[in-house]
Structure 1
């Protein structure tokens, strides 16, 4: 049997889960644009949870959203053929439930695609007409921007400016005063001034400017102490006691960020992975093609490069979450696992905290 303390902890966890579900549900509702009476719906309908239902009742499409927490009032949507309130796309994020053949036929006659995404935001299936998850007009704009160097650079400059502003905020609030911090702040401020007064003329120049700021920024991370529980000081590699590089220092091949060999980089990679998932879902829901990158388009053709474009402004916030954990806690060897090839991964409970 469960003791009283365990039961109290379980109830507390349930209350917190309910509170956070309600919080994010309210945030989603607040972000939805208001549709005028004679205006066609422009926002997609996003569904998730367990027990979803999509069917036709007396000629109208009936949708019941899934359950994500308890207690919860199940939301229902009713759409009539030709209605201006019919969403341009219906997106199911993970979830489970049922859909009837009549509902699939209804969606096809209304030119409304039904897009199902996996938990990581990748497309699992597209049904209805058109059988394409993206909005052709938005994809055309992506391609036009991608084909014009000046438009590419202007698009990227806005994202990079937001990223550098977030980076500067981190430098000001998350690091102790030091020469490295001072040089990184000066570098970020100079880059912002350049973007304002004489912005780069090519994507290559823009990436070079951002890279300079990024290198100075991550050098500042060396000033952040990493605390380990006393019993684990001899149980972890020497290079885990400090932070030196964003790259995998002990990798056998060319150093990269992908296969972390340091706990801090493992936490950063997980935080960026969560950001990537959220960004991919938002891009697909908004009707863009995640594979048509604008800034990153010429770097990797086998990845969702537009996702990496749109992620840039969110990276400093992900960094901030990891920096806060480093500043406020001490780590144990049990918080991480190491593969035979030396790749470091975070434990499930630590991963849950990073994703919170």
Structure 2
């Protein structure tokens, strides 16, 4: 608890009270600048994503008036006004968590304009859909996913750029964040060989593609064992012995088939959290863009019951998530209080440590 309070105090000291608002405005401006300028007679392609407290959708003089919610203080409330049958209207409106009010007239207006209203939980799971017969995805995009999934060559063409970006990211991590060692040299060579294979002759099947990715990933995670895990002197002899080094991406006490879930090691607990946040952001973006998250192209199909398309899109972001964990290992000395071990042996990052590890660095 003392360590958690110290971390919180350090965080509050390092970050001025109004910096969150400044950074939120900055990243919002960056996002808006990144959106390609729409041609005059081109229909808007980007969804309108809303969140925060105090959301409001109502009709005023025939137009839909939308007020975004508040997420921090100080913050100016953003307002949108949509007119019937305008090219500027978004193809869908997505509400991510938040609270507020929607009038019946607003629901009727959206139905008349064929603009679906999609309500998501904080983790990107769909709560409700108004419009498009209760289906959150754009039918054309969902059909494209199904057609692509049925064509092996198209699946490979879709997957190769994603896997290439992922391996390029892992190669960057290997060069910049790991100490020099034989495993590092081998992993760098393996990544370079795989990238050369992807560039010179594309795999014939998705299985071949996954095999190449797995080859690079196996060599990459072997290098993680060379990164020292530093513990406070007072805690060094009170943590499980296998916490002193990192040797396996799978839970060491996993039963039957090795699994990355229910981490038994602090590094895996941090990786799982980082991947979880990446998954949530990717799911929200996929749904907002009109895709069906369950219609995976590389990782699986709708029958699996999992959001396999999200797993497809996550691939380039994984090295970015891993980079943050690697930076934590390089920069910090851990305390036993940063993690919690459940009665079943599952290791979890405590909330205060999560806030410090993943939220204080932009």
Q: Considering the TM-score relative to the shorter chain, is it more than 0.5?
A: yes
Asked if 2 retains the 8 angstrom alpha-carbon contact of 1:107 and 1:129, the reply is no
- Residue in structure 2 matched with residue 156 of structure 1 by the alignment: 159
Asked if 2 retains the 8 angstrom alpha-carbon contact of 1:133 and 1:287, the reply is yes
Q: Within 5 Å, which residues of 2 pair with 1:90-129? A: 90-129=93-132
Cα distance between partner residues in 1 of 2:278 and 2:130 = 27
Aligned-residue Cα RMSD (Å) equals 1.7
1:32 to 35, 41, 45: 35
- Residue in structure 2 matched with residue 257 of structure 1 by the alignment: 260
Structure 1 residues 238, 232: CA separation in 2 closer, same or farther (over 3 Å shift)? same
- Residues 27-73 of structure 1: CA deviation (Å, up to 9, x unaligned): 22222332222221111111111101100001111101111122222
Asked if 1 retains the 8 angstrom alpha-carbon contact of 2:295 and 2:301, the reply is no
1:23 is the counterpart of 2:26: yes
The Cα of 1:20 is off from its aligned counterpart by 2.4
- Residue in structure 2 matched with residue 352 of structure 1 by the alignment: 355
1:54 is the counterpart of 2:57: yes
Q: Unaligned regions of 5+ residues in structure 1, if any?
A: 1-5
More deviation, 313-322/41-50:
41-50
Question: Paired residues, what number?
Answer: 350
More deviation, 316-325/289-298:
289-298
The Cα of 1:193 is off from its aligned counterpart by 0.5
Cα distance between partner residues in 1 of 2:13 and 2:130 = 40
- Residue in structure 2 matched with residue 342 of structure 1 by the alignment: 345
The Cα of 1:11 is off from its aligned counterpart by 10
Asked if 2 retains the 8 angstrom alpha-carbon contact of 1:166 and 1:317, the reply is yes
- Residue in structure 2 matched with residue 67 of structure 1 by the alignment: 70
The Cα of 1:299 is off from its aligned counterpart by 10
- Residue in structure 2 matched with residue 294 of structure 1 by the alignment: 297
- Residue in structure 1 matched with residue 208 of structure 2 by the alignment: 205
- Residue in structure 1 matched with residue 286 of structure 2 by the alignment: 283
- Residue in structure 2 matched with residue 183 of structure 1 by the alignment: 186
Structure 1 residues 23, 276: CA separation in 2 closer, same or farther (over 3 Å shift)? same
The Cα of 1:351 is off from its aligned counterpart by 1.4
- Residue in structure 1 matched with residue 88 of structure 2 by the alignment: 85
Cα distance between partner residues in 2 of 1:13 and 1:213 = 42
- Residue in structure 1 matched with residue 134 of structure 2 by the alignment: 131
Cα distance between partner residues in 2 of 1:95 and 1:272 = 23
Asked if 1 retains the 8 angstrom alpha-carbon contact of 2:149 and 2:301, the reply is no
- Residues 258-292 of structure 1: CA deviation (Å, up to 9, x unaligned): 11110000000000000000100110010000000
Runs of 4+ in structure 1 displaced over 3 angstroms? 8-13
Structure 1 residues 266, 187: CA separation in 2 closer, same or farther (over 3 Å shift)? same
Cα distance between partner residues in 1 of 2:349 and 2:314 = 22
1:169 to 165, 172, 184: 172
- Residue in structure 1 matched with residue 4 of structure 2 by the alignment: none
- Residue in structure 1 matched with residue 233 of structure 2 by the alignment: 230
- Residues 211-256 of structure 1: CA deviation (Å, up to 9, x unaligned): 1110100000011000000000111011100010111112233221
More deviation, 245-254/58-67:
245-254
Q: Unaligned regions of 5+ residues in structure 2, if any?
A: 1-8
1:305 is the counterpart of 2:302: no
Cα distance between partner residues in 2 of 1:342 and 1:349 = 21
Cα distance between partner residues in 2 of 1:235 and 1:20 = 39
Structure 1 residues 73, 11: CA separation in 2 closer, same or farther (over 3 Å shift)? farther
TM-score by structure 1 length?
0.95
Cα distance between partner residues in 2 of 1:245 and 1:254 = 14
SS at match of 1:200: coil
The Cα of 1:353 is off from its aligned counterpart by 3.0
